[in-house]
């Protein structure tokens, strides 16, 4: 076979494979993705039976244990709104009031939201801080 034709075939095969991979990636991402919601967004959009990813900061003074259930409130980063969460499962070591968290939740009636077991992740409490500007 003519070498240039061989090259054209190889290039076509490679581009087709790349296109298929990219399409699968894009489709899977949009199909399988779930919205990360703040506390205010969750209060506005939550429907019974659906699971959402709640993102926010643990409200100071809101953390306590009820037996084996961890109770805490997650604060909205921009608005003065927080939602209560009842969570069972592994609590990451960095978890503490004032730390950023992500947790899968569903509506739990009057008591607030129920955290799905073992879905709680916490931002690392590094000492990286914004520059103070004083030298």
Check residue 51 for interaction with other proteins (CB under 8 A).
no
Is 40 among the residues that bind other proteins (CB under 8 A)?
A: no
The one segment of 24-32, 78-86, 106-114 that binds other proteins by CB under 8 A: 24-32
Angstrom distance (rounded) from CA 51 to CA 35: 10
* Residue 128 within binding range of other proteins, rule CB under 8 A: yes
How far, in whole angstroms, is CA 2 from its chain's centroid?
A: 53
Distances (CA, A) of 32 to 25, 42, 114, 125: 10, 19, 22, 29
Q: Which of 2, 30, 47, 48 binds other proteins (CB under 8 A)?
A: 30
Provide the minimum distance between the beta carbon of 113 and other proteins in the complex, in angstroms, as a whole number: 17
Q: Which is nearer to other proteins, 7 or 78 (CB)?
A: 7
Residue from 12, 34, 78, 79 binding other proteins (CB under 8 A): 34
Task: In whole angstroms, give the CA distance from residue 112 to residue 73.
Answer: 9
Integer Cα distance of 49 and 87 in angstroms: 17
CA distances from 22 to 30, 62, 108 (A): 12, 44, 38
Residue 18 as a binder of other proteins (CB under 8 A): the answer is yes
Tokens encoding 113: 């939201």
Residues in touch with other proteins (CB under 8 A): 3, 7, 10, 14, 18, 21, 24-26, 28-30, 32-36, 53, 55, 64-68, 70, 89-96, 100, 102, 118, 121-132, 134-135
């Amino acid at each position: 076979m003519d070498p240039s034709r061989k090259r054209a075939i190889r290039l076509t095969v490679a581009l087709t494979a790349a296109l298929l991979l990219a399409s699968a990636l894009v489709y899977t991402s949009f199909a399988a993705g779930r919205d990360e919601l703040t506390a205010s967004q969750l209060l506005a959009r939550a429907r019974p039976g659906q699971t959402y990813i709640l993102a926010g900061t643990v409200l100071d003074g809101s953390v306590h244990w009820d037996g084996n259930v961890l109770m805490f409130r997650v604060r909205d980063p921009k608005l003065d709104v927080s939602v209560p969460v009842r969570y069972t499962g592994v609590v990451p070591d960095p978890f503490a009031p004032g730390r950023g968290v992500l947790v899968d939740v569903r509506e739990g009636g009057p008591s607030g939201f129920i955290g799905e077991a073992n879905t709680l992740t916490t931002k690392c409490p590094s000492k990286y801080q914004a520059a103070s500007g004083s030298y």
